[in-house]
């Protein structure tokens, strides 16, 4: 995947922390540290969005929907 260079503004204490992580070889460089942090944040936001959407579901309705027609279909299913 191609990468694009961007300029960002970051507070000095945060940059110093990133530099310590790079010096400790937790990350190979600043770019990789920032890239991984952004990826992780985006994944969390997506997970939170999914959790919020799931919380909107009505469990009783979802259960009824899942079982809809199940009793009729069971007769048609082959024995294993």
Output 79 or 9, whichever has higher pLDDT: 9
- Dump pLDDT digits (tens) for 24-36: 999 999 999 999 9
Most confidently modeled range among 42-46, 49-53, 58-62: 42-46
Distance CA 50, CA 4 (A): 29
Task: Report the pLDDT value the prediction gives residue 44, as an integer from 0 to 100.
Answer: 86
* Signed CA dihedral, 38, 41, 10, 27: sign only: negative
């Amino acid at each position: 995947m191609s990468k694009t260079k961007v300029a960002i503004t970051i507070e000095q204490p945060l940059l110093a922390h990133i530099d310590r992580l790079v010096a400790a070889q937790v990350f190979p460089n600043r770019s990789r540290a920032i890239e991984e942090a952004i990826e992780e944040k985006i994944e969390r936001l997506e997970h939170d969005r999914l959790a919020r959407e799931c919380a909107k579901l009505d469990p009783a309705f979802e259960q009824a929907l899942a079982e809809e027609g199940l009793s009729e279909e069971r007769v048609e299913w082959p024995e294993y």
